[in-house]
Amino acid sequence: MTSAPLAARLRVPSGPLFFPVTAYGPGGTVDPDVCRAHVRRGVEAGAAAVFACCGTGEFHALTPEEFQVCVRAAVEAAEGRVPVLAGTGYGTALAVRHAVLAEEAGADGLLVMPPYLVVPGQEGLLRHYREVAAATALPVIVYQRDNAVLTPRTVVGLARTDGIIGFKDGLGDLDLMQRIVSAVRTEAPDGFLYFNGLPTAEQTQLAYRGIGVTLYSSAVFCFAPEIALAFHRALRDDDLATAHRLLDGFYRPFVELRSRGRGYAVSLVKAGVRLRGLDVGEVRSPLTEPAGEHVKQLALLIERGYALLEETAEETA
């Protein structure tokens, strides 16, 4: 585990937040060596943090034992250079179990995904996240999406809870997010973190930045780290010309391609990692692989994205 407080390390990241895929070998079992190689490449490419076994990492498809193997592999590959957070979820008991396993594996923090299946009320959600936060010494980020949609009052309660340091939004309701940011700003201690957690978050990050949400997850970093880094720098430097060039020429077409298949937010990203030379295997069921034609289109789009970086470099030389 890294020694500096996690919230301080995440507040002004040096690069994108990296959500690696989980690598499987030829027999379909977790391959920790390839997991380590994937994470190591991301850290060396400039990731500011690693979020292992989250949505992109197929948390839903891993046994608790496999989960711990993957988290430990990420911690080993990061070597303390950047913090490693682990996903956790399901019902409270299993979320607590995964939290303990992540702590034992050396993780620096947790991203708590929605509870399994049920649609709880606000009181139940608050209790759930507080029980997970109390189970370990690891700082917690709460992930809003699907069946876990929180009111501003509930998020204020989270922000006042020891061990809960941030809130990640995967819903995309900017009106709700503005009210959450406002409520926490006026009613809770300073320093609470917010993350844009929508799929391909770069596509919406300019809008999120406008309400004060400056942190975002990057699945594109898995297979095109230079593109993700260029976009991250453009936002940091307020270089809207570069940001718009990448949005128009790469991110929007990628989002449109991603929308052509169920589960492509994971399987298409994994195909992208394979296209870039690292065999991380296929996705596990119930997800399915992207159509061959879509993988070909992804390959062309990746080429286009790197061509855009070359054009930008030539113009600024």
At 92 the pLDDT is: 97
Distance of CA 247 to the CA centre of its chain: 19
Look at the alpha carbons of 267, 45, 200, 53 in this order and tell me if their dihedral is positive or negative.
positive
Do 149 and 120 form a contact (C-beta atoms < 8 A)?
A: no
Q: How confident is the model over 31-81, as pLDDT tens digits?
A: 999 999 999 999 999 999 999 999 999 999 999 999 999 999 999 999 999
At 1 the pLDDT is: 43
For residues 274 and 277, what is the distance between their CA atoms, to the nearest angstrom?
5
- 187: how many CB neighbours lie within 10 A of its CB? 14
One-letter identity of residue 302: I
pLDDT at 27 over 70: yes
Q: How confident is the model over 294-309, as pLDDT tens digits?
A: 999 999 999 999 999 9
Q: How confident is the model over 152-170, as pLDDT tens digits?
A: 999 999 999 999 999 999 9
DSSP state of 87: E
Length reported for the chain: 317
Q: Which two tokens stand for residue 175?
A: 């009106």
Mean pLDDT of the chain: 96
Look at the alpha carbons of 269, 273, 276, 281 in this order and tell me if their dihedral is positive or negative.
negative
CATH entry 3.40.50.720 includes domain 6-224: no
Closest alpha carbon to 86 in 192, 1, 24: 1
Q: In this structure, what is the dihedral angle of CA atoms 162, 165, 171, 173, given to the nearest 10 degrees?
A: 100
Of 168, 194, 216, 251, which one is the catalytic site residue? 168
pLDDT at 130 over 90: yes
One-letter identity of residue 127: R
The domains of the chain are located at 6-224
Look at the alpha carbons of 272, 275, 277, 281 in this order and tell me if their dihedral is positive or negative.
positive
For residues 179 and 189, what is the distance between their CA atoms, to the nearest angstrom?
16
Could you confirm whether 143 is annotated as catalytic? yes
Could you confirm whether 296 is annotated as catalytic? no
Distance of CA 232 to the CA centre of its chain: 14
Confidence of residue 315 (pLDDT cuts 50, 70, 90): confident
Q: How confident is the model over 6-22, as pLDDT tens digits?
A: 999 999 888 999 999 99
DSSP-assigned letters across all residues of 230-266 = HHHHHHHTT-HHHHHHHIIIIIHHHHHHHTTSTTHHH
Residues 6+ apart with CB under 8 A from 191: 7, 11, 165
Beta-bridge partner residues of 143 = 168
Of 90, 129, 143, 194, which one is the catalytic site residue? 143
Confidence of residue 2 (pLDDT cuts 50, 70, 90): very low
pLDDT at 317 over 90: no
Tally of helices (H runs) and strands (E runs) in the chain = 13, 8
Cα angle value 73/167/133 (rounded, 5°)? 65
- 146: how many CB neighbours lie within 10 A of its CB? 12
Mean pLDDT of the 243-272 span: 98
